[in-house]
């Protein structure tokens, strides 16, 4: 993982040589998230935003953006981690006034193991309801969700057994979460919004959520519970 992190940082700093680091990272996240979402839910408005961002960079820089995505995919394929969240903190992109600090992944993994319990406990919930629902109201880059997914897959479950609703008030956090959960094939609805005021600004779905028909599965289950 250190090699991937080192290569990611090297390319990122190369791109940020004549631009602000925050601008480059924000544009990288926007383009990656739009690409993943438009692959399954095409929106002309999102595509226009993608093209507007891309127009600010030359072909060589766009290739470097693609390389950053490839590194992220390779890193997450090697092992579960909060790769983008760690890159965000490592490059001092956090916002002090927002109190942004992403939980180290080993702590997220420990907390997920404690929260989810044994494979028997998880299996009982899935058998009764048909699936397990996971809610993360302050998701950050998705580290806790990724750790939960690692625990669930280690217990023998997969993307057909659980779905996630993640939410954060910070757009970049939501984009990082959406990108990483997409790569890890986790069914998720990532909401950019204020959990306390219940305001929603945008919603990002992962391909696994769309392909798994989770909207219908969730609606049908809740309707059955209400009818009962």
**What's domain 105-227's architecture?**
3-Layer(aba) Sandwich (3.40)
pLDDT of residue 228: 42
pLDDT of residue 222: 62
Q: Is 174 helix (H, G, I), strand (E, B) or coil?
A: helix
pLDDT of residue 124: 93
Please determine, for residue 113, whether its predicted confidence score (pLDDT) is greater than 90: no
The confidence band for 146, taking pLDDT boundaries of 50, 70 and 90, is very high
Torsion of CA 81, 85, 89, 91, to 10 degrees: 100
Q: How many residues does the chain have?
A: 228
Structure confidence by residue, pLDDT tens digits, 205-217: 999 999 999 999 9
Which candidate, 81, 64, 111, 106, places its Cα nearest to that of 2? Answer: 81
Domains of the chain: which residue ranges? 2-95, 105-227
User: Taking residues 116-126, what's their average pLDDT?
Assistant: 91
Structure confidence by residue, pLDDT tens digits, 165-207: 999 999 999 999 999 999 999 999 999 999 889 999 999 999 9
Q: Is 9 helix (H, G, I), strand (E, B) or coil?
A: helix
Which candidate, 142, 157, 126, 129, places its Cα nearest to that of 191? Answer: 142
For the chain, how are helix, strand and coil distributed in percent, rounded to 5?
60, 10, 25
Please determine, for residue 80, whether its predicted confidence score (pLDDT) is greater than 60: yes
The confidence band for 77, taking pLDDT boundaries of 50, 70 and 90, is very high
Residue 109's contacts (CB-CB under 8 Å, 6 or more residues apart) are 80, 147, 150, 151
pLDDT of residue 97: 42
Please state, in angstroms and rounded to a whole number, the distance separating the CA atoms of residues 199 and 98: 18
Average confidence score pLDDT of the chain: 91
Provide the whole-model pTM: 0.92
Please determine, for residue 17, whether its predicted confidence score (pLDDT) is greater than 80: yes
For 14, counting Cβ atoms within 10 Å of its Cβ (0-12 exposed, 13-18 middle, 19+ buried), the class is exposed
pLDDT of residue 221: 75
pLDDT of residue 100: 64
Pairing outcome for strands 199-205 and 188-194: antiparallel
User: Taking residues 139-156, what's their average pLDDT?
Assistant: 95
Please determine, for residue 224, whether its predicted confidence score (pLDDT) is greater than 80: no
Structure confidence by residue, pLDDT tens digits, 21-57: 999 999 999 999 999 999 999 999 999 999 999 999 9
Please determine, for residue 104, whether its predicted confidence score (pLDDT) is greater than 70: yes
Chain mean position to CA 137: 13
Structure confidence by residue, pLDDT tens digits, 90-101: 998 875 445 566
End-to-end Cα, the chain, rounded Å: 49
Query: Apex CA 219: angle with CA 215 and CA 225, to 5°?
Result: 150
């Amino acid at each position: 993982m250190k090699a991937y992190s080192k290569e990611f940082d090297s390319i990122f700093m190369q791109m940020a040589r004549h631009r602000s680091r925050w601008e480059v990272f924000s544009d990288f996240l926007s383009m990656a998230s739009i690409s993943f979402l438009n692959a399954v839910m095409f929106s002309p408005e999102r595509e226009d935003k993608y093209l507007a961002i891309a127009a600010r960079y030359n072909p060589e820089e766009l290739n470097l953006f693609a390389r950053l995505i490839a590194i992220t995919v390779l890193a997450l394929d090697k092992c579960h981690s909060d790769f983008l969240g760690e890159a965000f903190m490592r490059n001092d992109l956090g916002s002090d006034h927002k109190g942004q600090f992403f939980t180290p992944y080993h702590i997220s993994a420990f907390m997920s193991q404690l929260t989810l319990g044994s494979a028997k406990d998880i299996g009982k919930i899935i058998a009764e309801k048909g699936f397990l629902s996971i809610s993360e109201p302050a998701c950050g880059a998705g580290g806790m969700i990724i750790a939960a997914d690692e625990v669930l897959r280690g217990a023998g479950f997969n993307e057909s057994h659980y779905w996630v609703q993640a939410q954060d008030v910070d757009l970049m956090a939501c984009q990082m979460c959406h990108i990483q959960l997409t790569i890890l094939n986790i069914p998720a609805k990532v909401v950019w919004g204020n959990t306390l005021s219940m305001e929603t600004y945008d919603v990002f779905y992962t391909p696994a959520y769309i392909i798994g028909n989770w909207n219908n599965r969730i609606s049908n289950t809740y309707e059955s519970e209400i009818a009962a």
